[in-house]
Amino acid sequence: MNVRHIGGYLCALGYSLNYSLRASVGKSSSLRDSQGSLSKTGILSTFIASGTRQTSLALRILPGSRFTDIRFLVLNQWPLLHAIAIPKAQRRKMVLHWCEVRTGLFYKLVQNLLPRLAAKNVAISDSVGRSIQPSSNGVVHTLASGIDTEIYRSLPRGERSGICYLGRMAAHKNISLLIDAFEVLKGDGYAGTLTLAGDGPSLNEIKERVKISPFASYIIVPGLITDDDKISLLSRSDALAISSTREGFPRVVAEAMASGLPIVTCDFPENGTREVVLAYDSGIVTPPTRRDFASGIRVTLQNWDRYSQAGRAGAKLLSWNLIAKTFEDVVIPEILRQSIEQSRLTKESTV
């Protein structure tokens, strides 16, 4: 859940927002802050978004934030450890948005403890929500990864060519498997290219892997691309391929759906993309082997119209205005109910 987007759409719905966005900039310790206020029934909301330095940010939230003046507090940066820094009395206003779940002892402890601290938990997908539900106070509702659907375009099938990946270049993205599968496709006669767009710690390693590929001249690694270039790439590619071992609900999946671009992904236990693809029938989920992945891409291209149309229909349900409306209809009333109940109990205890 992008707090800036959902905040903007809540304003469009008529709410008055006081917001405070704090984000770490790159690897430095500097903070980029944004504050402002935009009224509907006097409800005040503060959204705090953190960047890559969650631990240090958690320590910085407190001095600049007047928690007693707000009605809702939304935290959404994994692994949500900054929730611990929220004063106990203010946690009844706290909403945690879960973007993924992970295995391992530390993550299991986090996923078991933190949901119990929040007044409300929401999740980026149904599968993530099911994992958080046992530790949650109340029902975990889904607030998916939203998009501005109107900015994407979809070229006809005959004007498209190539497979693409857009995202972070990191070990868990498992891009070597995608390259392996592409080499199988090329060996079987596929005429298109593979574009691997993005930046991250594994970028140089991926470039070295591409160099030794027998089909290196067909693999494009442009690094980080602009939003305009991303929209163009999605609109003219044959398929989006995601071989990650771990994902929540990548926004690029929603963007691909809005672009009429089918998605192929792998059946890893922590890969949330597979749930999205199956739910919207926007592509294929394959076993995580090079030949199965290549076969899945081939079958997707053979049934391109079906997956393209289903994806575009599903993307209409992922617009930010609908997600904001869900927030208004589901999350806000629950927080207000708990706040009123807590105030009643506090008054009764002082009598």
pLDDT in tens, 169-205: 999 999 999 999 999 999 999 999 999 999 999 999 9
Residues 109 and 160 occupy one common structural domain:
no
Q: What is the CATH number of the domain that holds 94?
A: 3.40.50
Q: What are phi and psi of 19, to 5 degrees?
A: -130, 150
The predicted pLDDT at position 207 comes to 97
249 & 290 share domain: yes
Summarize the confidence of residues 73-84 as an average pLDDT: 80
Domain ranges, residue 259? 151-316
Q: CB–CB of 168/199 below 8 Å? A: yes
**24 phi-psi bin (left φ>0, alpha ψ -120 to 50, beta other):** beta
Distance CA 162, CA 237 (A): 5
CA distance 98 to 81: 12
> 46 near 16, Cβ under 8 Å?
no
Phi, then psi, of 288 in degrees rounded to 5: -85, 55
Q: Is the pLDDT of residue 206 over 80?
A: yes
What's the rounded Cα separation, in Å, for the pair 315 and 259? Answer: 9
Least trusted range by pLDDT, from 36-50, 57-71, 100-114, 168-182: 36-50
- pLDDT above 60 for 25: no
| DSSP state for residue 147 in the 8-state scheme | B
On the 0-12 / 13-18 / 19+ scale of CB atoms within 10 A, 10 is: buried
Average pLDDT over residues 103-121: 90
Beta bridge partners of 35: 20
Cβ atoms < 10 Å from Cβ of 223: 12
Scanning the structure block, which residue is given the tokens 């470039």? Answer: 207
**Are residues 114 and 10 both part of a single domain?**
yes
Residue 9 shares a structural domain with residue 127: yes
* 173 and 66 inside one domain: no
State whether 15 and 65 are in the same domain: yes
CATH of the domain at 200: 3.40.50.2000
Kindly state the average pLDDT of the residues 291-300. 98
Q: What's the whole-number average pLDDT of the chain? A: 81
Q: How confident is the model at residue 350 (pLDDT cuts 50, 70, 90)?
A: low
Enclosing H/E stretch for 3:
helix 3-12
pLDDT at 320 over 50: yes
Q: Is the pLDDT of residue 135 over 50?
A: yes
> What's the pLDDT tens digit per position in 211-240?
999 999 999 999 999 999 999 999 999 999
159 and 249 belong to one structural domain: yes
Residue with the bigger pLDDT between 37 and 232: it is 232
Whether residue 174 sits in one domain with residue 162: yes
> In this predicted structure, what is the pLDDT of residue 18?
53
Same domain for 171 and 123, yes or no, is: no
Most confident range (mean pLDDT) of 86-90, 178-182, 323-327 is 178-182
Cα 293 to Cα 69, 178, 191, 257, 348: the distances in Å are 52, 8, 17, 19, 62
As a whole number of angstroms, the distance between CA 63 and CA 80 comes to 18
Alpha-carbon distance of 281 to 23, in angstroms, equals: 35
What does the pLDDT read at residue 88?
A: 83
| Residues contacting 219, CB < 8 A, separation 6+ | 179, 182, 193, 194, 195, 196, 210, 213
What is the rounded CA–CA span in Å between residue 260 and residue 236? 10
How large is the greatest C-alpha to C-alpha distance in the chain, in angstroms?
80
Do 166 and 95 share a structural domain?
A: no
Give yes or no for residue 80 having a pLDDT over 70.
yes
pLDDT of res. 68: 52
pLDDT value at residue 65: 44
Point out the least confidently predicted range of 56-65, 102-111, 144-153, 304-313. 56-65
Query: Mean pLDDT lowest for which of 23-37, 118-132, 170-184?
Result: 23-37
Given this model, what pLDDT does residue 70 score? 62
The position carrying tokens 């987007």 is 5
| Per-residue pLDDT tens digits for 152-162 | 999 999 999 99
| Same domain, yes or no: 263 and 139 | no
- Place 271 in a pLDDT band, splitting at 50, 70 and 90: very high
Gap between the Cα atoms of 320 and 9, Å rounded:
7
- Check whether residue 309 and residue 328 sit in a common domain: no
Number of domains, the chain: 2
